Amino acid sequence: MTKSREVAVAVPASLVSDVPHLREKTAKIGIVGRAACIFGVEEIIVYADQQFKRQRRDANLIATILSYLETPQYLRKRLFKIRPELRYAGVLPPLRSRHHPLANRVSGLVDGEIREGAVVSVGRSGVLVDVGVDRDAFIRDANLRVGSRVTVALKKSKNSLEARVLKSSEIREYWGYHVTLSKLTLGKLLNDSSIDLVIGTSKYGKPFSEVQHELRDRMRDSQKVLVAFGAPSQGLYQIARREKIDLDSVADFVINVFPFQEVETVRTEEAILVALGILRFLTKS
Contact call for residues 16 and 57 (beta carbons, < 8 A): no
Please list the ranges in the chain whose pLDDT falls under 50: 1-2
DSSP 3-state assignment of 151?
A: strand
Q: Which amino acid type is present at position 253?
A: F
Residues whose CB is less than 8 angstroms from the CB of residue 192 and which lie 6 or more positions away in sequence, other chains included: 226
* 105 Rama class: left (phi>0) / alpha (psi -120 to 50) / beta: beta
Number of H helices, E strands in the chain: 8, 11
At 1 the pLDDT is 40
CA-based nearest residue to 30, from 273, 283, 282: 273
**Cβ pair 45, 264 in contact under 8 A:** no
**Strand order across the 224-228 sheet:** 178-181, 43-47, 6-12, 224-228, 197-207, 253-256
**Rounded-to-integer distance, Cα 169 and Cα 187, Å:** 30
The answer to whether 74 touches 102, Cβ cutoff 8 Å, is: no
Residues in the chain: 285
Q: What is the pLDDT, as a whole number, of residue 2?
A: 41
Which segments within 166-242 are labelled E, that is strand? 178-181, 197-207, 224-228
Is the CB of residue 229 less than 8 Å from the CB of residue 10? yes
* Percent of the chain that is helix, strand, coil (3-state, to 5): 35, 25, 40
pTM for this prediction = 0.93
Q: Name all domains of the chain by residue range, CATH numbers in brackets.
A: 6-96+174-284 (3.40.1280.10), 106-170 (2.40.50.140)
pLDDT of amino acid 136: 96
Question: What DSSP designation does 184 have?
Answer: -
Q: Decide: helix, strand or coil at residue 275.
A: helix
